[in-house]
Chain A
Amino acid sequence: MSTTDATNVPYTSDTHADGLAVTGQTQWPLWEVFTQAGKGAPHEHAGSVHATDAEHAMQNARDVYCRRGEAVSLWVVPASAIVASVPGDAGPFFDPGNDKAYRHPHFYKVPLGVRVF
C-alpha cells in the first residue's frame, strides 16, 4: 500500500497533554479541546478529539463537547504542541511559590477591631 493512501496518511504519534504517548500511526492526530462557558469566563480543558486538521478538529470538538450550549468559545490545540509539567518534579518545581506566606494577606497583622477589607 502506498503511503499516499488516504486511509493511511502518516503522522507522528501523539501524546495527550497530560498523558502518555498514544502509540502507532493508526488514527488521526490528537487535539486538546478548551471551552469557555460564558463571556468573561476562562477557557477550560474539556477533553480531546481526533481530527485530520484544525477545521475538522473544531467541528468534532463542537459536536462532542458543545451539545447543550456549554460554550461561547472553543479552542483546539494540537496535543503535541502542549508542554506539561512532570509530576515527579512537581515538588521542587513549584516549591518557590509554596513557602512564601508573606505573599498572602493573612501573613500581616492589623490592629484588633479594624476592618481592613
Chain B
Amino acid sequence: MEQPTIVPTADSSAHESALVAAFEARIAAGESIEPKDWMPERYRKQLIRMMSQHAHSEVVGMLPEGNFITRAPSLRRKMSLIAKVQDEAGHGLYIYCGTETLGVDRHELIEQLLDGRAKYSSIFNYPTLSWADMGVIGWLVDGAAIVNQTILAKTSYGPYARAMVRICKEENFHKRQGYEICATLARGTPAQREMLQDAVNRFWWPALMMFGPSDTDSPNSAELLKWRVKRKTNDELRQRFVNLTVPQAIAIGITLPDPELRFDEATGNWVFGEIDWTEFFQVIGGEGPCNRERLAARRAAHEDGAWVREAAAAHAAKQRTSGTQAA
C-alpha cells in the first residue's frame, strides 16, 4: 500500500526554526533546560548518548577496583574501597535516572551496555595489576573525572547538572583516598615505590585520553559547546588536568612517563607530548586489553543478580495479594 508522503510545509518548518531560536536564546541567557521543555531532537539525542555513556562508565568503573576489595592491604583501605565502589554504583544510578527524564528506558540502556552496543570510558579497558593501581586510579582517573564533571555541573540540561553536583561532592573522597595510597607507597620501601611508578607509567597516558579526542578531531564538540552541554573543550580540560596533576606528582617524587613534559612560563601551562590516538581509537573500538573481560564480568554480574530481582518482584506481588485479602 502506498503511504502518503508527508512534506513539511513552509509553516511547520518556520514554526520549528522559531522554536530552535527560542531554545538557543534561553541557552545563551544561561537558563537551564528541563525535561518537559521543548528541545531540538539533536540536543535530546546528544544528551542521551553522552549521559548514558557516562552512566555506563560509572558502572563498568566498579569492576577494576572491585577486583581488589579482597586484596586490600588493611581494613582501613578495604572500607574505603568498598565505599568507593558503592559510590560508583550510586553515580551510575543518578545519571541513569537523569537520562530517563529524556524519555528513554533504563532497561534499554543497560541492554545496550550488556550486548556491547554502548560505549563507556576507555580507561576501564586497561587491566589493574597491582595494589598501586588502586591508588593511581583514585588519583589520576578520578582526578580526571573531577575536572570533567566540575564543568559538567554547569551543563545546560538541568537533571544532568544536578546529578553532577551530587557526584562532584562524592568524587573528592575518591581522589584523596587514591592520592593518599600513592603518597604512602611513595614513602615506602624501594619495591613499593617501584610498584607505584610502574602503575603511574601505565595509567598516565590513558588518563589523558579520558578527555576524548583533540578538539580538531572531535565530531560532536562544536554542537555540544553551542548548546552548552559542554562548557569547555576536550583539550582545555585535559590541559587543566595536567596543570593540576604535575605538581602533585612532583610532591610525592614520582615521574610522569613523558620526556617532553615541561613548564611553559609564558602560558603557565605544563606542555605535554603527543598522545597516541591510534591506541585510543583501538580501545574505544573494542580492542583494548580488557574490553571483553569487562563486558563478560558485567554480564555475569547481571545474570547472577537475576534471582534477587525475581525475589523482589515475587515478594512485592505477594504483599499486594495479601494486602488485597486483608482489605
Contacts and interface: CB of A to CB of B under 8 A. Distances in A.
Interface string A39-52: 00000000111111
Contacts of A68: 170
Contacts of B37: 87
Interface string B161-188: 0110010001000000000000000000
Contacts, number: 96
Contacts of B103: 19-23
B306 A27 contact: no
Given A18-B36, A48-B97, A64-B93, A27 B102 contact: no
Interface in B80-108: 83, 86-87, 90, 93-94, 97-98, 100-108
B317 interface: yes
Given A18-B36, A47-B163, A26 B107 contact: yes
B302 interface: no
B316 A53 contact: yes
Interface stretch (B221-229, B246-254, B258-266, B307-315): B307-315
Contact of B105 (A4, A23, A52, A87): A23
B36 A86 contact: yes
Contacts of A22: 100, 103-106
A26 B110 CA distance: 11
Contacts of B310: 6-7
Interface string A19-40: 1111110111010000000000
B35 interface: yes
Contacts of A20: 35-36, 101-103
B293 interface: no
B34 interface: yes
Contact of B106 (A4, A19, A50): A50
B320 interface: yes
B319 A18 contact: no
Interface residues of A, number: 34
Contacts of B159: 18-19
Contacts of A67: 83, 86-87, 90, 170
B239 to A, nearest CB: 32
A56 B316 contact: yes
B107 A84 contact: no
A16 B86 CA distance: 25
A13 B316 CA distance: 17
A97 B49 CA distance: 39
Interface in A49-108: 49-53, 55-56, 63-65, 67-68, 84, 86-88
Interface string B14-56: 0000000000000000000011111000000000000000000
A9 B312 CA distance: 11
A6 B108 CA distance: 19
A27 B107 contact: yes
A52 B316 contact: yes
A18 B35 contact: yes
A40 to B, nearest CB: 22
Q: Give 7 nearest A-B pairs by CB, closest first.
A: A19-B101, A52-B316, A20-B103, A19-B35, A26-B107, A6-B314, A53-B316
Interface of B: 34-38, 83, 86-87, 90, 93-94, 97-98, 100-108, 159, 162-163, 166, 170, 306, 309-317, 319-320
28 contacts: A6-B310, A6-B313, A7-B306, A7-B310, A7-B313, A16-B101, A18-B34, A20-B36, A20-B101, A20-B102, A21-B103, A22-B105, A30-B100, A47-B93, A47-B98, A47-B163, A47-B166, A48-B100, A49-B93, A52-B316, A53-B319, A56-B316, A64-B93, A67-B170, A86-B36, A87-B34, A87-B36, A87-B38
Given A6-B311, A52-B312, 13 more contacts: A6-B314, A9-B316, A16-B101, A18-B159, A19-B36, A19-B100, A22-B104, A26-B107, A52-B315, A56-B316, A64-B90, A64-B94, A88-B38
